[in-house]
Amino acid sequence: MNRKGPVVYEGKTLKLPTMRAEYKAIARKCSEADAAYEDYLQQLAELEVQRRTAMAIERRLKQVEFPMVKEKQG
């Protein structure tokens, strides 16, 4: 195990980059709000899904290669 802790290590192994990047900030936010652990996990999972969805949309738009739109002049 590396020195950064099991969450960082497992986040990389399981390919959860958003969770790995955001777990501390979300934990701090949930701690301040006195949220349950389930709420913390829910927020992390939702954020991961949102970012994956956004990246998938971007990737698909790049792959589609829509033709250039020509505008009429005059």
Among 10, 9, 3, 47, CA closest to 25: 47
What mean pLDDT comes out for the span 28-52? Answer: 95
Residue 38 exposed, middle or buried by CB count within 10 Å (0-12, 13-18, 19+): exposed
Is residue 41 within 8 A of residue 47, CB to CB? The reply is no
Provide the pLDDT for residue 1: 43
pTM of the entire structure?
A: 0.71
